[in-house]
Amino acid sequence: MGTRRRAREMALQILYGLDINPGDPETACGDLDGWSDLEADSRDFVSDLVQGAWDRRSEIDQVIADASIKWDVGRMAVVDRNLLRLATYEMMAHRDTPARVVLNEAIEMAKNYGGEESGNFINGVLDRIKYDLEREQNESSS
C-alpha cells in the first residue's frame, strides 16, 4: 500500500472518530495507533488533511450538500460523510494532486470501509464536486 493511501486511511479514521466524539484534531492525530511509525512528511500530510477538513467542515458540508441532491449530509453514513469531507478538502486545498487521483483513492476506501453502495455513491458525489470546483476555477481565472 502506498504512503499516501495509508495517510488518507489514517486521516479517514481520525475524522470518523472526531465526527463521533468531537475534540482537538491535533490530539486525535497523535492518539492514533501507528502515528509515531509514520515518516514526518506523512504525518504532516495526515495532519493537514484532518485539520483542514475538520476546520472547514461547514463549508465542505455545503459543497457536499449542493452536489448530493436529496441527501442530507447529517444523515449520510459516517464513513461516507467523512470520506466526502476528506476528498473534497483535498481537491480544494491540494490542487497539485490530480482530482482523478483523489476520486480514485476515495472510491477505493469507500469499497473497503463503507457499505455495499458506498463506492458508487462516493463516485457520483465527488464527480459532481470535481466538476463544480473545476468550473469555479475556470470562471475565476477568466
pLDDT for residue 1 is more than 60: no
What pLDDT is attached to residue 33? 80
pTM to 2 decimal places: 0.94
List, for residues 20-45, the tens digit of each pLDDT value. Answer: 999 999 999 988 887 888 889 999 99
- What is the average pLDDT value for the chain, to the nearest integer? 93
Evaluate if residue 2 carries a pLDDT over 90: no
Which pLDDT tens digit goes with each residue over 108-140? 999 999 999 999 999 999 999 999 999 988 888
Tell me the CATH number for domain 3-141.
1.10.940.10
Summarize the confidence of residues 75-92 as an average pLDDT.
Answer: 97
Contacts of 63-68 spanning 24+ positions with Cβ under 8 A: 63/88, 63/92, 63/129, 63/132, 64/88, 64/125, 64/129, 66/132, 67/125, 67/126, 67/128, 67/129, 67/132, 68/124, 68/125, 68/128
